[in-house]
Amino acid sequence: MQGISTSARHDARCHGVRCSRLVPLLFLLFFCALAASAQTVSQQQIADLQRQVTEARSNADNGWMLVCSALVLMMTGPGLALFYGGLVRRKNVLSTLMHSFAMMGVVTVIWGVVGFSLAFGPGTSFIGNLQHLFLHGVGAAPDPDYAGTIPLQTFMVYQLMFAIITPALISGAFAERMKFSGMLLFLSLWSLIIYSPMAHMVWGKGGLLNASLGGRFPCLDFAGGTVVHITSGVSALMCALYLGKRKDYPLEQLPPHSVVLSFIGACMLWVGWFGFNAGSALSAGSLATSAFVATHFAAAAAALSWMAAEWIHEGHPSALGGISGAVAGLVAITPAAGFVGPMSALLIGLIAGPICYLMVAKVKVAFGYDDSLDAFGVHGVGGTLGAILTGVFASHYVNPMFKDAQGNVTGSGLFDGNAHQLLNQFAGVAIAWILAAVGTLILLKIVDVTVGLRVTQEQEVLGLDLTQHGQEGYSVD
Amino acid sequence: MTKLEAVIQPTKLDAVKTALIAIGIDGLTVLEARGHGRQKGHTEFYRGREYSVDLLPKIKLEIVLRDERVDEVVKAIIGASQTGKIGDGKIFLSRIDEAIRIRNEERGNDAL
């Protein structure tokens, strides 16, 4: 560099700017650029992460709910099928299995076409509309009113399994004497006229009894004490009264042909019930756990208490008593499962066992009606008991359901400081009873004058397997 | 030819079979039967209802024998199944008109 002055030589310069100032300036510029680009990256990353977390949570809930749907279907086939099948005589075992199996087919079609819409579509306080006819609008997108993290289609198929097992339960009352064609027509109509409306009232949008969506009489029914057990149990009683007794009842001996089959079925019911109750949490979180635990504890307590009652009354605890007790406990905890803690569940089971036992062993015999497989004694009475006990034991610590005007959580049940809830429970119970009783009698009459309800005496003696289905359950070879 | 029918307790079947094989009797028909003589049944309970079960499980043996062998076979069966209590069972003897072996159509004692 020629001609630079002495002062310039001491002061190094880059493009006219002093070097000693340039370096920190360059560093500053570098970090600003870095910071600017880093900020853009992290906003996008956060959005991505948020979406992934939502998706992961949705997948977890959906996986759980699909498994629960399968569990509840298993409760019908082969759970209930075997439980009932083992209790009838050998010559009627297939027809009893077919009562449950037929529902797996028939109710699926009805539900898909119109049943789901009537139950869960928006509509009145009593019934849904036809918005979801042919499952229109039921796809991958969740419906936040019902279950915000799973596809509506999952919710639909889960509820379908409930719709299947409910009419199947009724078959316990008319086993060994019902015409297959009459049964198909009767239970199809029942699903539309009794099940869908009841499901709508308790669980559907705008439902009269819906505790989660602001119903007029919020009835706490977690998994279907009123919707499933009271309706089917009371209908069963109506069927038993209308159809009349089996030809051989009560004079002839009618013991179960295979308590072993019933045992297998009952254990499947117990395991499947986790899908029924815990799945009613509609997500895989801690409420599902709570319901799972309550379900199990009630079953165990009721199995023991039924056996104890039998031991005292008859001198032996029997296998059939044990499994019947477990089922009674499961029925009783169904409305309560997501609202009570494990100790309350034990109490509910403890109470349900002897009460249902007395119903089937004493009351049924005293009144003389032929509820062949005790559908009313266990489901009708157990469900009623459970629905009322839900109003007693429901706790906001387990599941906060109600808020006051200021938005604070208030008590759920009697022991939780909310005695008023018992009235709502009674409302749900009463509506279930009346709908089931009146509706069933009307439907029975319709089917009786059209297709016919009962097989002939000769068919009853020969057995329904041969006369209704042309097959034997067990062949000699 | 004599037909021997013996109704015995199911628990005694193995002992009787062994005793019969020991004396060279190898033709035997075994039926699962239900019945009772003076032995009482028991009651069972299902959902609070009492069922009296009079017909107890039994095993029925049928053997067709040459007349000369009947006494030793009766002795062998009684020896293997007698307990001295009610429920031991009974043996019945009757005359057989004819016996025919299906395989080769032999008749009479040769068919036994």
Query: For the segment A23-62, what is each residue's pLDDT rounded down to a tens digit?
Result: 788 888 877 777 666 555 688 899 999 999 989 989 999 9
pLDDT tens per residue, range A457-468: 999 999 999 999
Average pLDDT over residues B95-110: 94
Confidence check: pLDDT of A7 > 50: no
Beta carbons of B46 and A360 less than 8 Å apart: no
Residues of chain A positioned with their CB less than 8 A from the CB of B41 = none
Q: Which residue has the higher pLDDT, A254 or A232?
A: A232
Task: Name the A residues in 296-315 with CB < 8 Å from any B CB.
Answer: 310, 313-314
Rounded to the nearest integer, the mean pLDDT of chain B is: 92
Task: Name the A residues in 134-193 with CB < 8 Å from any B CB.
Answer: none
Confidence check: pLDDT of A185 > 80: yes
Give the span between the Cα atoms of A400 and A42, in whole angstroms.
37
Confidence check: pLDDT of A323 > 60: yes
- The residue ranges of every structural domain in chain A are 47-469
Give the span between the Cα atoms of A191 and A167, in whole angstroms.
7
Confidence check: pLDDT of A191 > 70: yes
Distances A399 to A21, A287, B76 between C-alpha atoms, Å: 66, 7, 76
Average pLDDT over residues A389-394: 97
pLDDT tens per residue, range A436-446: 999 999 999 99
Count of residues making up chain A: 477
Residue-level pLDDT at B53: 81
Percent of chain A with pLDDT over 90: 86
Q: Which residue has the higher pLDDT, A3 or A214?
A: A214
* Closest to A223 in 3D by CA, of A377, A414, A75: A75
Minimal Cα–Cα distance from B55 to chain A, Å?
A: 13
pLDDT tens per residue, range A342-362: 999 999 999 999 999 999 999
* Closest to A88 in 3D by CA, of A261, A306, A323, A251: A261
Average pLDDT over residues B80-85: 94
Residue-level pLDDT at B37: 79
Residues of chain B positioned with their CB less than 8 A from the CB of A362 = 48
Beta carbons of A255 and B51 less than 8 Å apart: yes
Give the span between the Cα atoms of A71 and A164, in whole angstroms.
13
pTM: 0.87
Residue-level pLDDT at A41: 66
Confidence check: pLDDT of A152 > 60: yes
Write the residue in A250, A316, A361 that is nearest to B47 by C-beta: A361
Give the span between the Cα atoms of A48 and A2, in whole angstroms.
60
Query: Omega before A197 cis (within 30°)?
Result: no
Residue-level pLDDT at A2: 44
B49 touching chain A per CB within 8 A: yes
Beta carbons of B48 and A357 less than 8 Å apart: yes
Q: Is the ipTM of this complex over 0.90?
A: no
Residues of chain A positioned with their CB less than 8 A from the CB of B44 = 255
Residue-level pLDDT at A76: 98
Minimal Cα–Cα distance from B67 to chain A, Å?
A: 35
Banded pLDDT at A6 (limits 50, 70, 90): very low
In this structure, what CATH number is given to the domain that contains residue B82?
A: 3.30.70.120
Q: Which residues of A178-188 are buried (b: 16+ CB within 10 A; e: fewer)?
A: bbbebbbbbbb
Confidence check: pLDDT of B19 > 90: yes
Residues of chain A positioned with their CB less than 8 A from the CB of B52 = 253
Residue-level pLDDT at A15: 61
Give the span between the Cα atoms of A317 and A353, in whole angstroms.
13
Beta carbons of B48 and A314 less than 8 Å apart: yes
Confidence check: pLDDT of A237 > 50: yes
Q: Which amino acid, residue A386?
A: G
- The half-sphere exposure of A49 on its side-chain side, counting CA atoms within 13 A, is 6
Instruction: Name the CATH superfamily for A47-469.
Output: Ammonium transporter AmtB like domains (1.10.3430.10)
Q: How many domains does chain B have?
A: 1
Minimal Cα–Cα distance from A465 to chain B, Å?
A: 23
Phi-psi region of A392 (alpha: psi -120 to 50; beta: other; left: phi over 0): alpha
Write the residue in A250, A318, A365 that is nearest to B45 by C-beta: A318
Of A6-15, A19-28, A133-142, least confident by mean pLDDT is A6-15
Residue-level pLDDT at A42: 85
pLDDT tens per residue, range B44-73: 888 878 888 888 899 999 999 999 999 999
Residue-level pLDDT at A5: 45
Give the span between the Cα atoms of A116 and A119, in whole angstroms.
5
Residue-level pLDDT at A16: 58
Residue-level pLDDT at A90: 95
Domain span holding position B29: 2-111
Average pLDDT over residues A88-113: 97
B85 touching chain A per CB within 8 A: no
Banded pLDDT at A1 (limits 50, 70, 90): very low
B42 touching chain A per CB within 8 A: no
Confidence check: pLDDT of A3 > 70: no
